[in-house]
Structure 1
Amino acid sequence: MDKNYDVIVVGGGTSGMMAAIAAAEKGSRVLMIEKNKRFGKKLLMTGGGRCNVTNNRDVDDLIRHIPGNGKFLYSTFSQFNNFDVMAFFEENGVALKEEDHGRMFPVTNKSATIVGALVERMRALNVEFAMNTVVTKLIHDGNQMSGVKTETGDFQAPCVVLTTGGRTYPSTGATGDGYRLAKQVGHHITPLYATESALFSNEAFITDKTLQGISLRDILLTIQNDKGKVVTEHKMDLLFTHFGISGPAALRCSSFVNQLLETQDEVAAILDCFPDLSADELSKKLETALADTKKTVKNALSSFLPERMMTFYLERLGISELPSNQLTDDQKQALVAILKHFTIKVFKTFPIEKSFVTGGGVELTEINPKTMESKKMPGLFFGGELIDINGYTGGFNITAAFCTGHSAGAHAAEIASYFSY
């Protein structure tokens, strides 16, 4: 294997493969170094093995769904965005389809289709691969990158792109190597925390598994700090588990929960089962359902929520078996309150290693947003989950990874070309 290249990409995941492709398309001789024996191990797991490859939204909406420093990506998205990601796959023989909330999947419903297209494109562009290879050190003279040191030898290049991922799912090879390498050249790593993670609770109804397995559609989950201020809220589906709550609504709240838990012992998650109805509107709807004098409250309201969920609420208020026409005004108000404002105390999320996305990473003020080049070390570029950007599930993290990788690879190739003269 040759030892001299224009661009070296370290990490063959979502961002790295796109970086290698972008650099090679610009005419660079590219080496891709991957510690695993195959590419895209985490990408193969995404979207339940179907690969939610991007999201079909305009850029402003896309950035709103990347709460972890999404505004940093405006420059990146002005060069290569989600629509370019879609075009890339279509041009490379992968038909995509749109599902709910703008999520884009391959028509084959197989993540291997996406990974295969990226690998084939790299091969077509003559990107060279160093598999099962671990980078141990960045080579530089203090003013300019000149290559990388691996366990099997050194490789030279004036530009290096780090796309080693975060710390989620260490089985995929994401064990924090990139943070260590970035620190070697003076970069600061912001505190790491789990995002897109399920929420744990010690509430009795959780530990007793009273609600385990119940799924609620289009509820509103609100996170409040210890002063009662709303920090974030999401209207999506929710699932009760044996340890707490999961599903899209819980996952989207998790990064905010973890940041609050830095200064609080527990966090209030407020569940509104009827977010499309005001308290008055819900009260009137309940009044109509309770007007049947022949039913108990439980039977009169059986269609409002999954049976176990409604029974739980009614038993908590002690009104489950009462005749439906005998509820007092106070009892009715209490019923509206619990349906629209039920508090679940959360004390932790899954650790980073078992979460979908890593929050935190290489400090963004140390990266040029137009080029993804390090401000600390010329010739060093970053992309993907390694940097301090995180989004919601739904194709947003993958989009950020593809696009930052493309920007890093393209600009690394441009810089490397100056060294050819």
Structure 2
Amino acid sequence: MKQKVVVIGAGAAGLMAAGQAAMRGKDVLLIDKNARPARKVMITGKGRCNVTNDCDNETFLKNVRSNPRFLYSAIAGFSTADTMAFFEGRGVPLKTERGGRVFPVSDSAADIVDALSSFASDAGVPYRTGRVARIQAGEDGVEGVVLEDGERIPCTDVILATGGQSYPGTGSSGDGYKLSKMLGHTVARIRPSLIPIETKEEFCKEMQGLSLKNVTLSVTKGKKKVYSELGEMLFTHFGVSGPLVLSASSHIDDEKMDEYRLHIDLKPGLSPEQLDARLLRDFEKYKNKDFFNSLGDLLPRKMIPVVVRLSGVEGTRKVHQITREERRGLVELIKGFAITPKAFRPLNEAIVTAGGVSVREVDPKSMQSKLCRGLYFAGEVLDLDAYTGGFNLQIAFSTGFAAGTHV
């Protein structure tokens, strides 16, 4: 009789693990709460799916925020290049964009989901809709799983790939943490990562809908700069969002929020001296206009009232009356537009969940539990998270491959 393996969770990690285990001759059953697999993958990258990052293993590990050393073996066993070869081998052409981000040429996450789903089904993995209430284990390890309706499914091995606790509508509702705790595992504090930020300043609401491109967002903690990157961000009714903000959030400790500040360089391509010269040219051009009407060539329309107010210069002042000191203050404001973070948005809006099953209790080569024989982990249920750019999905693929290979 073939070894019976139950994979709980049909996301990126679960589908990879199920397919790999079945290809190695295991009798695999895939169970998920949703009628269709990989619901969360469908919404990644705004529906485009940033599937991995075209980088070497060292660069990948530098972009893993929590417990990167744990992933040495996993990324060596299934690298970003392996991920790209996997999808292209299954008929999904890929392209590489800024920062090494890899997307399907079609810009459709559905193509990635179809490739993962067909990989598991082609390997002969049946798909079952249901919710696992507990994993049964004895002295010798895993013995079976019990579904919510009371049905027991005997098995020798379980791969737990239930995801985190963000986007619960896609099925990531934290079930894996409860199942792990029942078997004695430690779960590190669950917290949001890659999440929009609520701000103290009301002026963000004034600029709601304004998207800034080619700006530099920096995060400081006290006097220390902890993050800085060029890219895009968005003002919202609650504060700020967009790619730069999501990345910045992973550098902020939500329990010490009042120690951080966000700074936007609205003109990163200009030095302060160059920006001052640019302002002088604009002021000469509009020397007989009010200050309020002189910034249209430099700043987005929605931002002008806010910048004028923060500058301390009356908006109705004639441009030729503005002093050198006031102009220098304006340069400082544009090069370091400051925002005070107040809180992260709710956990269910996070792209990734930080925290999870302690990796100290998991074998990094096989992903098998050190506490319960036959129990394996893959993906976001583990205490692993990374910055934006395709790195979090790569964690799912690498750990899923390791679990499916070693089970």
Q: Post-superposition shift, 1:364?
A: 1.6
> Where does residue 309 of structure 1 map in the other structure?
303
Q: Post-superposition shift, 1:289?
A: 3.4
> Where does residue 275 of structure 1 map in the other structure?
268
> Where does residue 76 of structure 1 map in the other structure?
74
> Where does residue 98 of structure 2 map in the other structure?
100
> Where does residue 11 of structure 1 map in the other structure?
9
> Where does residue 217 of structure 2 map in the other structure?
221
> Deviations along 1:117-152, whole A, 9 cap, x unmatched?
2222212211122x2222122222234223322235
Q: Post-superposition shift, 1:30?
A: 1.3
* Structure 2: distance between partners of 1:196 and 1:59: 22
Asked if 1:42 corresponds to 2:40, the answer is: yes
Q: What amino acid does structure 2 have at the position aligned with 1:380? A: L
Matches within 5 A, 1:105-254: 105-129=103-127, 131-151=128-148, 152-206=150-204, 209-225=205-221, 227-254=222-249
Q: Post-superposition shift, 1:243?
A: 0.9
* Structure 1: distance between partners of 2:348 and 2:257: 22
Structure 1 SS opposite 2:250: helix
Q: What amino acid does structure 1 have at the position aligned with 2:118? A: E
2:282 pairs with one of 266, 286, 289: 289
Structure 2 SS opposite 1:262: helix
Relative to structure 1, the CA distance from residue 36 to residue 308 in structure 2 (aligned partners, 3 Å threshold; closer, same or farther) is closer
Long gaps (5+) in structure 1: 413-421
Q: Post-superposition shift, 1:355?
A: 1.7
Structure 2 SS opposite 1:105: strand
Larger displacement relative to structure 2 (140-149 or 175-184)? 140-149
> Deviations along 1:253-277, whole A, 9 cap, x unmatched?
12333x2x31344742122212333
* Structure 2: distance between partners of 1:143 and 1:50: 44
1:193/1:255 contact within 8 Å kept: no
Q: Post-superposition shift, 1:158?
A: 2.6
Asked if 1:405 corresponds to 2:400, the answer is: yes
Q: What amino acid does structure 2 have at the position aligned with 1:249? A: L
Structure 1 SS opposite 2:397: helix
* Structure 2: distance between partners of 1:250 and 1:24: 40
TM-score for both structures, normalised by structure 2: 0.92
1:266/1:347 contact within 8 Å kept: no
Structure 1 SS opposite 2:36: coil
> Deviations along 1:25-75, whole A, 9 cap, x unmatched?
222221111122121111112222232222222222223333233343222
Asked if 1:262 corresponds to 2:260, the answer is: no
Higher share of residues assigned strand: 2
* Structure 2: distance between partners of 1:288 and 1:142: 79
1:164/1:177 contact within 8 Å kept: yes
* Structure 2: distance between partners of 1:92 and 1:197: 32
> Where does residue 418 of structure 1 map in the other structure?
none
Aligned residues: 404
TM-score for both structures, normalised by structure 1: 0.89
Larger displacement relative to structure 2 (154-163 or 283-292)? 283-292
Q: What amino acid does structure 1 have at the position aligned with 2:67? A: N
Structure 1 SS opposite 2:303: helix
* Structure 2: distance between partners of 1:403 and 1:263: 32
> Deviations along 1:205-261, whole A, 9 cap, x unmatched?
13xx32112111122222222x3322323322111111101111111112333x2x3
> Deviations along 1:149-192, whole A, 9 cap, x unmatched?
22352223332110000011111121111001111121111111
Q: What amino acid does structure 1 have at the position aligned with 2:208? A: Q
Q: What amino acid does structure 1 have at the position aligned with 2:309? A: E
1:385 pairs with one of 374, 380, 386: 380
Larger displacement relative to structure 2 (366-375 or 276-285)? 276-285
Q: Post-superposition shift, 1:198?
A: 0.8
Relative to structure 1, the CA distance from residue 71 to residue 237 in structure 2 (aligned partners, 3 Å threshold; closer, same or farther) is farther
Q: Post-superposition shift, 1:90?
A: 1.2
Q: What amino acid does structure 2 have at the position aligned with 1:373? A: Q
1:5/1:31 contact within 8 Å kept: no
2:89 pairs with one of 84, 88, 91: 91
* Structure 1: distance between partners of 2:63 and 2:270: 25
Relative to structure 1, the CA distance from residue 110 to residue 264 in structure 2 (aligned partners, 3 Å threshold; closer, same or farther) is closer
Q: What amino acid does structure 1 have at the position aligned with 2:147? A: T
2:19/2:121 contact within 8 Å kept: no
Give the root-mean-square deviation of aligned CA atoms: 2.2
Structure 1 SS opposite 2:188: coil
Structure 2 SS opposite 1:212: coil
